[in-house]
């Protein structure tokens, strides 16, 4: 489990990004961390990894204070950053050098994943395309068997078939002991993969709900002409029609539209959250 309690952090003195931030992330879930540029997503991920230290409060990861960065914690955290560089060595050599930092590393799984992504084993990592490098670093991270997997814009650089492969692979690797945190702007790529949606804006968590709760309470509609204003939670013009979110009074689960949800929360989080107040 990951628990952030009363976490405060500033890049500049007197200008707080996080002010008493509270967040709990539980194993067995895939969390979608959404937010505009500058909302604090990458900073939050770095707090969890122990790459940045809070000014006050705590960030507890699996019973460890993340700021201590002790090996017992780090061996169970794997971060796939949005930007990275890989050395001029083979995939096999890279794995032999770096797998020692992850006691549960599974070489057989790594081979399976790199084969599924159709990566050329004979080429050096530095010679691969950006998309191929992303596939390898994702494969290595999943093979590490780390209990906390942090993926920052993981679908960037992947073509359409690879995005489909990525979703299937992530779904197959989740278990009751692992936490996946996926920070992304590419919400369409991940709508069917996420369990919980966390929306961050200007260092504050505006929304934190399980997908099943969302779909039970909100209907995502692309033609609001038949709905009274009192039932509409958010609306926007799309292709000449009003699309948006309405109260799901029937309670039947509907398909989530992450773009509409994100836009609605950013515009009026209090109204959206009020729809869950009696849960």
pLDDT at position 188: 77
Q: Specify the DSSP class assigned to residue 90.
A: B
Q: CA 263, 269, 271, 274 torsion: positive or negative?
A: positive
Using the predicted structure, report yes or no on whether residue 278 has a pLDDT greater than 70.
no
**Is pLDDT larger for residue 249 or for residue 257?**
257
Q: Is the pTM of this model over 0.75?
A: yes
H helix intervals, the chain: 41-49, 71-74, 91-98, 107-116, 130-143, 160-173, 211-217, 258-274
- Domain annotation for the chain: domains and CATH numbers: 2-202 (3.40.50.300), 210-274 (no CATH)
- Give the model confidence (pLDDT) of 12-25 as tens digits: 776 889 999 999 99
Using the predicted structure, report yes or no on whether residue 181 has a pLDDT greater than 90.
yes
- Give the closest residue to 92 by CA, choosing from 154, 139, 162: 139
Q: What is the mean pLDDT of residues 30-42?
A: 92
Tokens describing residue 92: 């096999």
- Give the model confidence (pLDDT) of 194-235 as tens digits: 999 999 999 999 999 999 999 999 999 988 988 999 999 999
Residue 73's pLDDT band, with cuts at 50, 70 and 90, is very high
């Amino acid at each position: 489990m990951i628990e952030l309690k009363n976490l405060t952090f500033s890049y500049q003195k007197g200008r707080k990004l996080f002010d008493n931030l509270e967040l709990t992330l539980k194993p067995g879930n895939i969390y979608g961390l959404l937010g505009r540029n500058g909302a604090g997503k990458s900073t939050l991920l770095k707090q969890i990894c122990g790459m940045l230290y809070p000014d006050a409060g705590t960030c507890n990861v699996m019973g460890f204070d993340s700021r201590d960065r002790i090996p017992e914690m780090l061996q169970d955290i794997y971060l796939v950053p949005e930007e990275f560089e890989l050395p001029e060595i083979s995939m096999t050599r890279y794995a032999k050098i770096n797998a020692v930092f992850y006691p549960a590393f599974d070489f057989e799984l790594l081979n399976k994943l790199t084969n599924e992504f159709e990566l050329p084993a004979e080429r050096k990592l530095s010679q691969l395309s950006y998309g191929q490098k992303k596939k390898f670093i994702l494969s290595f991270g999943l093979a590490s068997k780390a209990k906390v997997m942090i993926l920052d814009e993981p679908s960037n650089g992947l073509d359409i078939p690879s995005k489909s492969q990525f979703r299937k692979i992530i779904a197959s690797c989740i278990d009751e002991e692992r936490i996946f945190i996926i920070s992304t702007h590419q919400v369409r790529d991940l709508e069917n993969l996420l369990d919980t949606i966390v929306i961050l804006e200007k260092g504050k968590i505006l929304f934190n709900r399980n997908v099943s709760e969302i779909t039970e309470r909100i209907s995502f509609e692309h033609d609001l002409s038949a709905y009274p204003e009192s039932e509409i939670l958010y609306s926007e013009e799309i292709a000449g029609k009003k699309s948006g979110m309405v109260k799901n009074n029937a309670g039947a689960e509907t398909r989530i539209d992450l773009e509409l949800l994100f836009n609605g929360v950013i515009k009026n989080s209090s109204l959206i959250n009020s729809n869950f107040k009696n849960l």
